Structure 1
Amino acid sequence: MSFFSAFYMDTDSATHNSSDELVQSIHHNIGLILKTEAAFLHDDSNSMASQSSICFGLEDIALFSRLNSGEQIAIRIKNKISQFEPRLHAIKVAYIEHEQQDLLSNTLKFEISAMITINGKEEVLLFDTDINLSQMTVMIENESQYD
């Protein structure tokens, strides 16, 4: 039993499929990265400080979104996922242009794709992500074959 299944999964929704559990754990961790405001920002990725938990999360995304384009925010998100989710590789984060309803709700949309090795086989994970800047909430939908 993993830490994630022991402390985060509902016993009702718990599956005994280790692949599903792994993907749910990654899904949960990406959500935490996006929901957490980093206490300390450090740009030198080779430094020990950049791997510290005080760098976990994004900078103030509401302020950051006013100063940067969606593409620049996507780069920051990609870097943070690369830094704090070592189970993934070939990570891509794409900013999805605003629709009228997104402008009204103050929501940023991103598509996250990454590769993971499951049972010795390379698999693609896809997540659609909405970050609501007004309510500071994150919604992530798993578009992969895993629940």
Structure 2
Amino acid sequence: MQVCDLYENLKDDVQRYARSIAKHAYEADDLVQDAFMKAIKEPNLAALPLHKQKAWFFRVVKNRMIDISRREKRLVSWEDDLDIAELPVSSRNIEMTEWLARLPQSQSNIVFKRFWLGMSSQEIGEQLGMPAATVRYKLQTAIKKLRKLWEEDMK
């Protein structure tokens, strides 16, 4: 059984489940796509019984949704701390550019790729040749430094 067979057999169930836990339909579509992309990399998945395949997909969709929720919470928390929304857009961009310039180049690069280009930690890691966990660690370190810079500027 190939991934295309898995898709035909399970897409409706996986889609329904994703829509039940996602906030928006487009988010559910992304969850389903991510799950089937991950299935491509799992050679033993096709050999499992149907009920175990379905459970595997549901677990992948649920875990991906948890990852997205965590990332959104961190992003919202970071944006709330900085009160960037109160600045005019051009001023915001200038100020953020100045803060990024005060970070080490490697951290500035990761922040830029994550928040301006919208890349995932996995994509950034692949591009920079490091594990996604290292990217997330460096991103969190950079955000802490940005908070400190912001606090210093607000004094």
> Same fold by TM (over 0.5)?
no
TM-score range, shorter chain: under 0.3
TM normalised by structure 2 equals: 0.23
TM normalised by structure 1 equals: 0.24
1 or 2, which has the higher helix percentage?
2
Larger Cα Rg: Structure 1 or Structure 2?
2
